[in-house]
């Protein structure tokens, strides 16, 4: 068990395959826990930044950097090794959602202006910017090797082709959530997209990406999800973990992936 002093935890995530965990919240500081050495490293602040909260963050796939939602439309790229800012990337609106590409070379962000930005982290250049067709504030982002999902506060989740240069018209607009699409997650092979909102009970949906159809057989009205506050797939998609407002982590077995070799 990790205990972090004087900080309500809003985000906890593994940093690549290092065995370390980044823990952050509504504080100007955060922690990096080395699970191998059992060491808790306190990062008092990010030099050059005046933010009082680092509650929204995502680690790169290779574990070398973390992207934080900063103030005034900034995405702050933090280098784990040097514990300093590597880049500051600017949106026109405030930042509400960030994610890395599967290869870690790009970071994508969106927010109050409803537009999606993609930067190349090798040059820090913005490669593309396009409007999410839903037209409302973006609330969540997820990428797979072939698709991009953009969730909006209206509850609409748009599914786009993932490659740069392809049409930025949605392949599918999923309207099964009736309040803000707070979380979207692809599974390991990109065949399933999970979508949820914190504002309605039992509001989690799974999309079969190749056919762009929502599973009708699960979850059911009797599935005891409660209010879904967090969710994610295990690395090989054998499990889907769902955290709810009761402080429970519900673990569901995905039989298709469990039976695969």
Q: Pick from 37, 18, 40: which is nearest to 29 by CA?
A: 40
pLDDT of 188 over the 70 cut? yes
Lowest mean pLDDT of 20-29, 155-164, 244-253, name the range. Answer: 155-164
pLDDT of 217 over the 80 cut? yes
Residues 250-254: contacts with CB within 8 Å, 24+ apart?
A: 250/224, 250/225, 254/187, 254/192
pLDDT value for 162: 81
Domain boundaries, the chain: 1-66
pLDDT value for 54: 97
Q: How confident is the model at residue 52 (pLDDT cuts 50, 70, 90)?
A: very high
Place of tokens 């392809």: 166
Cis peptide before 141 (omega within 30 of 0): no
- Strand 125-131: give its sheet, edge to edge: 95-100, 106-111, 115-120, 125-131
Q: What is the pLDDT of residues 229-239, one digit of tens each?
A: 999 999 899 99
pLDDT value for 141: 97
% of residues, the chain, pLDDT over 70: 98
Average pLDDT value over all residues in the chain: 93
% of residues, the chain, pLDDT over 90: 86
């Amino acid at each position: 068990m990790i205990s972090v002093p004087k900080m309500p935890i809003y985000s906890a995530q593994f940093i690549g395959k290092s065995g370390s965990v980044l823990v952050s919240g509504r504080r100007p500081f955060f922690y990096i826990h080395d699970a191998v050495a059992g060491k808790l490293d306190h990062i008092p602040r990010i030099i050059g930044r005046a933010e009082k909260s680092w509650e929204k963050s995502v680690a790169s796939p290779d574990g070398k950097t973390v992207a934080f939602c900063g103030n005034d439309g900034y995405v702050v790229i933090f280098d784990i090794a040097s514990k300093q800012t590597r880049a500051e990337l600017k949106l026109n609106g405030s930042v509400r959602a960030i994610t890395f590409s599967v290869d870690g070379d790009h970071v994508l962000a969106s927010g109050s202006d409803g537009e999606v930005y993609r930067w190349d982290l090798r040059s820090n250049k913005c490669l593309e910017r396009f409007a999410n067709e839903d037209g409302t504030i973006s609330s969540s982002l997820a990428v797979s090797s072939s698709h991009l999902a953009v969730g909006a506060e209206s509850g609409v989740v748009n599914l786009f082709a993932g490659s740069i240069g392809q049409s930025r018209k949605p392949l599918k607009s999923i309207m099964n959530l009736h309040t803000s699409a707070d979380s979207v997650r692809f599974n390991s092979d990109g065949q399933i997209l999970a979508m949820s909102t914190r504002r309605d009970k039992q509001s989690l949906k799974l999309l079969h990406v190749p056919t762009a159809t929502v599973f009708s057989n699960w979850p059911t009205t009797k599935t005891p999800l409660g209010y879904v506050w967090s969710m994610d797939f295990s690395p090989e998609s054998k499990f889907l973990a769902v955290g709810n407002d009761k402080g429970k982590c519900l673990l569901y077995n995905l039989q298709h992936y469990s039976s695969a070799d």
